[in-house]
Amino acid sequence: MTKNCLICSHNIEPFISFGPQPIANGFLLPDQFKNEYFFQMDVAFCPKCTMVQLMDQPDREKMFHSNYAFYSSTSSHMAKHFEKFANEVMMKYQPSFVVEIGSNDGIMLKHFANKGIKHLGIEPSANVADESRLHGVNVVSRFFDESLAEDIVGEYGQADCILSANVMAHIPDLHSVFAGIKKLLKPGGVLIFEDPYMGDILEKTSYDQIYDEHAFFFSLNSIEYLAKQHGMETIDAYPQETHGGSMRYTVANRGTHLKNDRVRAWMEKEEYMDMDKPATYEKFRQNVEKSRENLLQVLTEIKRNGGNIVGYAATAKSATITNYCEIGPDLIDFICDTTPIKQGKFSPGMHIPVKSYAEFTGKHPSHSLLFAWNHTKEIMEKETGFKGKWIVYVPEVKVL
């Protein structure tokens, strides 16, 4: 099966298949099991523009709606991260109008609102958009694209800064997004966005970043290719620890800003890592298969020896792990999670019960499988009372 690359139209074919996968944030009740939606999750690398991408993605309305289960502010470390991000933008650019694409519950934009800076969030998932309004954030509950950008310019004028975190990689039609950004941004303005970085995914075999919402897995090279097609360029690339390794890109109209030296350094690193070579992705596929084998072996061994396992955090990432490895309620008693909207429901695809955090602390299991491995620091700080063992699978499967 081949398709056209979403960025450069070159013919692409998958290097890995995860089989049928559910909506990763689609927590459900038993009466919904029968009609649960699945899509074929295959991933391709484009040798021309180097973009790694899903071959197919569910319709956006199936993923982002008024019952969207991901609330950004469930992590205190992420709250601090976005406060710092907002402060850096204020200090560096002193913007008079800021737009954020995918502002969720207002985790970042509320800091601009608090300072009285003109701002606008674009957030199609109505429940999280409503939550942000409670924090004084102005928000439009629509999907960002070129036509929305035109409407915003008509009503509010052009922006100095357009910000986005963990959203650009969710939007298959990035050409419409970039065309919209060109119109919405003042000629000398900047687009600053961050997303999980393909270099980290390769280095850590963190294949759980691959799920329905993530249409793309960015590298600096692929972003530079995309930006160039719209008369823009990457002027900075700054690594972040969030989501297990992300990259923050600053993009501007070509020739309007100086390029930070980091851009060249990261381009060289990507070349050194052979991120433009198909063989790199073939090796990744082998590592993913080995990781699945090791994890299943560890879990079945624990069960055979009479242990019990609870999943820690019903992350979207855990949908890929549980469905791809076929880990169900026979191996995991339940998954604990602090998000009220997920509790009392069942995990997508494998239907593992999702329970409150109190169920975990009330009766500690012998083992806990850390699905929110990207929040390890925050979780270890608060779980000093847990005397059982942690099972981790990134960068490799281990029992700690």
Binding of residue 247 to ligand SAH (CB under 6 A): no
What, of ligand TYD, ligand SAH, none, does residue 74 touch, CB below 5 to 8 Å by kind? ligand TYD
What, of ligand SAH, ligand TYD, none, does residue 123 touch, CB below 5 to 8 Å by kind? ligand SAH
- Residues linked to residue 164 through DSSP beta bridges, in sequence order: 101, 193
What are the φ/ψ torsions at residue 88 (nearest 5 degrees)? -65, -40
Yes or no: say if 128 and 65 are a contact pair by the CB < 8 Å rule. Answer: no
Q: E-strand spans in 303-393?
A: 309-312, 334-336, 354-355, 367-370, 389-392
CA dist., res. 328 & res. 353, Å (int):
10
What, of ligand SAH, ligand TYD, none, does residue 316 touch, CB below 5 to 8 Å by kind? ligand TYD
Q: Count other C-beta atoms under 10 Å from residue 302's C-beta.
A: 20
CB-based closest residue to ligand SAH: 102
Greatest alpha-carbon span in the chain = 65
CA dist., res. 150 & res. 180, Å (int):
7
The terminus-to-terminus CA distance of the chain in angstroms comes to 42
What, of ligand TYD, ligand SAH, none, does residue 143 touch, CB below 5 to 8 Å by kind? ligand SAH
The count of residues interacting with ligand SAH (CB under 6 A) is 21
Binding of residue 270 to ligand TYD (CB under 6 A): no
Cβ proximity to ligand SAH, 72 vs 374, nearer residue = 72
Binding of residue 166 to ligand SAH (CB under 6 A): yes
What, of ligand TYD, ligand SAH, none, does residue 337 touch, CB below 5 to 8 Å by kind? ligand TYD
Part of the chain binding ligand SAH (CB under 6 A), chosen from 163-171, 219-227, 245-253, 369-377: 163-171
Angle, CA 186 vertex, CA 181 and CA 192 arms, to 5°: 55
Site for ligand SAH in 41-80 (CB under 6 A): 60, 64, 68, 70, 72
Long-range Cβ contacts of 183-188 (<8 Å, 24+ apart): 183/146, 183/149, 183/150, 183/153, 183/158, 184/99, 184/149, 184/152, 184/153, 184/158, 184/159, 185/158, 185/159, 185/253, 186/158, 186/159, 186/160, 187/253, 187/256, 188/252, 188/253, 188/256, 188/257
- Among 22, 102, 106, 353, interactor with ligand SAH by CB under 6 A: 102
- Residues linked to residue 335 through DSSP beta bridges, in sequence order: 311, 354
- Among 83, 173, 289, 378, interactor with ligand TYD by CB under 6 A: 378
Cβ proximity to ligand TYD, 80 vs 115, nearer residue = 80
CA dist., res. 209 & res. 243, Å (int):
9
Part of the chain binding ligand SAH (CB under 6 A), chosen from 165-173, 246-254, 290-298, 354-362: 165-173
- Among 15, 18, 97, 144, interactor with ligand SAH by CB under 6 A: 144
Binding of residue 315 to ligand TYD (CB under 6 A): yes
Q: Which two tokens stand for residue 194?
A: 């961050």
Site for ligand TYD in 319-358 (CB under 6 A): 337-339, 342
CA dist., res. 175 & res. 232, Å (int):
12
Cβ proximity to ligand SAH, 63 vs 352, nearer residue = 63
Cβ proximity to ligand SAH, 120 vs 352, nearer residue = 120
- Quote the DSSP letter at residue 277: -
The dihedral through the CA atoms of 251, 254, 257, 262 has a sign that is positive
CB of 82 to ligand TYD, least distance (A): 12
CA dist., res. 94 & res. 146, Å (int):
26
Binding of residue 375 to ligand TYD (CB under 6 A): yes
* Cis amide leading into 395 (omega within 30): yes
CB of 207 to ligand SAH, least distance (A): 19
3-state helix, strand, coil in the chain (%, to 5): 40, 25, 35
Cβ proximity to ligand SAH, 85 vs 334, nearer residue = 85
CA dist., res. 278 & res. 275, Å (int):
8
Cβ proximity to ligand SAH, 68 vs 390, nearer residue = 68
Site for ligand TYD in 59-98 (CB under 6 A): 70, 74-75
- Among 53, 57, 125, 315, interactor with ligand SAH by CB under 6 A: 125
- Among 21, 104, 234, 368, interactor with ligand SAH by CB under 6 A: 104
Residues that bind ligand TYD (CB under 6 A): 70, 74-75, 313-317, 337-339, 342, 372, 374-375, 378-379
User: Residues in the site for ligand SAH, rule: CB under 6 A?
Assistant: 60, 64, 68, 70, 72, 101-102, 104, 107, 122-125, 128, 143-144, 165-167, 170-171
